[in-house]
Amino acid sequence: MLIEATALTAGRVEGILTLLQEPLSLWGGIDLRTGAIIDATHPQCGVVLAGRIVAMRKARGSSSSSSALVEAARAGVAPAAIILEQHDAILVIGALIAAELYGAQIPIVTITASDWPQLRDGEMLSVSSGAQTATIQRLTPSGTASPEGLSPRVG
Partner 1 sequence: MELESIDRALLAGSFGKAAALAMDILVRYGRVCGAGRFVSITAAHIDACLYHGQSSIDFARRFVELEGRVRVPTTLNVGAVDVVHPEWHCGAPELLGHQRELNGLYARLGCLPTLTCAPYQRRARPSAGEHIAWAESNAIVFANSVLGARTDRYGDFTDLCAALTGRVPLTGLHCEANRQPTRVFKAPEIAATGLPRDLYFAAMGYVLGRLSAGEVPLIRDLPADSTEDELKALGAAGASSGSLALFHAAGITPEATAALSHAVKLNLCEIAISESALCEAIERLCPIAVGETVAAVCLGTPHYSIEEFRKLSHSLEGRKLPFAVEIYVSTSREIAATLKIGADFSALRSSGVKIVVDTCTYVAPVVRGTGAILTTSAKFAHYAPGNLQRRTGLMTLERCLLSAELGKVAPPC
Closer residue to partner 1 in complex, CB, 82/92: 92
Strand partners, 36: 48
**Contact with partner 1 (CB under 8 A) among 48, 61, 123, 135:** 61
Judged by CB under 8 A, which of 36, 48, 75, 150 binds partner 1? 75
Task: Report the C-alpha gap between 127 and 136 in whole angstroms.
Answer: 5
Range in contact with partner 1 (rule: CB under 8 A) among 47-55, 56-64, 120-128, 142-150: 56-64
What is the residue-wise DSSP string for 26-51? STTTB-TTT-BB--TTSTTTT-B-TT
CA distance 2 to 54: 17
**For residues 48 and 36, is the Cβ–Cβ distance under 8 A?**
yes
Taking contact as CB under 8 A, which single stretch among the options 37-45, 111-119, 120-128, 146-154 is the one that binds partner 1?
A: 37-45
Stretch that binds partner 1, among 12-20, 90-98, 113-121, 142-150 (CB under 8 A): 90-98
Residues 22, 28, 133, 141: which binds partner 1 (CB under 8 A)?
A: 28
Active site residue 142: no
Q: Where are the alpha helices (DSSP H) in 6-155?
A: 65-74, 89-102
Q: Which of residues 92-151 bind partner 1 (CB under 8 A)?
A: 92-94, 96-97, 100-102
